[in-house]
Amino acid sequence: MSLRKSMVNRGLLILTCFFSFVIQLCLASKTRHFKWEVEYMYWSPDCMEGVVMGINGQFPGPTIRAVAGDTIVVELTNRLHTEGVVIHWHGIRQFGTPWADGTASISQCAINPGETFIYRYKVDKAGTYFYHGHYGMQRSAGLYGSLVVEVGEGQKEPFHYDGEFNLLLSDWWHKGSQEQEVALSSKPFRWIGEPQTLLINGRGQYNCSLAAHVTNSSSPQCQFRGNEQCSPQILHVQPHKTYRLRVSSTTALASLNLQIGNHKMVMVEADGNYIQPVAVDDLDIYSGESYSVLIHTDQDPSKNYWISVSVRGREPKTPQGLTILNYQTTSASKLPTSTPPVSPLWNDYNHSKSFSNKILALMGSPKPPTTYNRRIILLNTQNTINGFTKWAINNISLTLPPTPYLGAIKHRLSNAFDQKSPPENFPNDYDVMKPPTNTNSTYGNGVYMLEFRTTVDVILQNANALATGVSEIHPWHLHGHDFWVLGYGEGKFREKDAKRFNLKNPPLRNTAVIFPFGWTALRFVADNPGVWAFHCHIEPHSHMGMGVVFAEGVHLVKDVPNHALVV
């Protein structure tokens, strides 16, 4: 009897410990509920009143703060009168919830006016993220906000800081997003032009300058007269402290460069992944990317310092975006006496490439598989279709179908999209250094069907656009995954270039840039059942067809809500 009693007691102890662990796990993670309404409203992002797309009367939208392991529930109601809406949670991998990725025609139908859609997903990894509209050009209209995920209980970051700030960078046009869409889809083609203003946390200044008193600018000194919507959001700091700046770019077009007067930055995180700490004077950030940098407030505390954002990769016709780093030992109204930092030349790509090559994974980070199962080479070209200017991948310009791919593939609707797989390469004799000899392209909506749990290499190959000597920067974003950036190169990718791939400590990212007339090599594991967009994050380019679609393990997807699939 005593032995039996001992065994029973031991079993009860094991069960008690197990249930205690489960309870602690449940208590550590929370479900965070948000109730949002998307609507157009009048706003003055750069002191010029116009129409923005906001959430609950806010622009930018509300910041979501959560802890790794939490579940986010967003009840989103469309208060737009005549158009659908979706929201993509940029950088959140959506394991088990591909229907919540927020990509119209891929993971769900657009939410119709007056309807409500419930996004429910888990944030599994700490990091700096953001969200934005993913239907039409609603990011250009201002539908975006920050999403910050803190480390879980009992976990620590691999660096110390005393406080943190969030910098959400964007660009702003006075021309509405619908007019931009019409221009980009017109024959003859009408380019939307460069943005009027760069915004920091949704605030900028048009036709005036914060730094007019120290520059030769013809613009007058800004006078806000209580206009909080466009007055700079000042960063208040104490001397001799370390601060974390979470920096994300949700720009529609502009590649940017961030600098802080007299202060170095130490990069420690990229796209939600820790990287080897590296000190930089300035930070190149492309649309879709996010970083965390540390700054030490070790400068003269009797002064304030400029934080500047400048255009990179395009001839800068947009003034710098500015705000102020305020040492709280001096008045926040005291403007810096020096001129704002000057960014590298807009076309100094050697500087950009040197910066990108400094980003390496932190020791102990997951390493890529040493070999791949499938290689897909994607040629990025500018083309024409029936006189319309388009962007194409392997000579196919993506047009999304009305029925979402996720539902169509899961329920085997063979007539919902093109069943022919898109090309995996381009002709060997194509000269990427010259305009295409034949500019004609075709529309398509086929899918790259990836075998589940296989390793896929993607080579992004840039090329000359329609105009001679022109090749543009393209930041590519992959939904549902992180990838390893194995390397960058010049000209056309050759098999011998693979020998130079970094398999030791390549960074994990969800967005990577291809430089003009160059290539970028990526590797990822197709381990997330669902259908995922992979596209240029420059909104006009994506709108004009610059993207592809990957699908993997769709048969394993469970519990897809009906409202995600109904047309």
pLDDT tens digits for range 464-512: 999 999 999 999 999 999 999 999 999 999 999 999 999 999 999 999 9
Distance CA 102, CA 108 (A): 7
Distance CA 431, CA 409 (A): 36
Whether residue 532 is predicted with pLDDT greater than 50 in this model: the reply is yes
Question: Any idea what DSSP says for residue 287?
Answer: T
Q: What pLDDT score does 29 carry?
A: 80
Whether residue 19 is predicted with pLDDT greater than 50 in this model: the reply is no
Residues 407-428, mean pLDDT to the nearest whole number: 95
Radius of gyration of the chain (CA): 24
Question: Which of 176, 203, 197, 247 lies closest to 60 in space, CA to CA?
Answer: 203
Contact 162, 325 (CB under 8 A): no
Residues 388-415, mean pLDDT to the nearest whole number: 96
Q: Which two tokens stand for residue 44?
A: 């003055």
Dihedral Cα 430, 434, 439, 442, nearest 10 deg: 50
pLDDT tens digits for range 320-343: 999 999 999 999 999 999 999 999
Q: Which two tokens stand for residue 74?
A: 């967003």
Whether residue 230 is predicted with pLDDT greater than 90 in this model: the reply is yes
Q: Which two tokens stand for residue 15?
A: 């069960």
Q: Let me know how many helices (H) and strands (E) the chain has, helices first.
A: 5, 32
Distance CA 52, CA 428 (A): 46
Q: What pLDDT score does 17 carry?
A: 42
Whether residue 21 is predicted with pLDDT greater than 80 in this model: the reply is no
Dihedral sign, CA of 546, 461, 417, 555?
negative
Question: Which of 84, 131, 92 lies closest to 108 in space, CA to CA?
Answer: 84
Query: Looking at the chain, how many residues does it have?
Result: 567
- pTM, two decimals, is 0.94
| Sequence-separated (6 or more) residues with CB below 8 Å from residue 439 | 383, 384, 466
Q: What pLDDT score does 566 carry?
A: 60
Distance CA 229, CA 268 (A): 31
Whether residue 27 is predicted with pLDDT greater than 60 in this model: the reply is no
Phi, psi of 499 (to 5 degrees): -65, -20
Residues 347-366, mean pLDDT to the nearest whole number: 97
Residues 460-464, mean pLDDT to the nearest whole number: 98
pLDDT band at 28 (very low <50, low <70, confident <90, very high): low
Question: Which of 50, 539, 545, 49 lies closest to 254 in space, CA to CA?
Answer: 539
Contact 233, 201 (CB under 8 A): yes
Phi, psi of 324 (to 5 degrees): -130, 140
Q: What pLDDT score does 314 carry?
A: 93
Higher per-residue pLDDT: 484 or 227: 484
Q: What pLDDT score does 4 carry?
A: 44
Whether residue 10 is predicted with pLDDT greater than 70 in this model: the reply is no
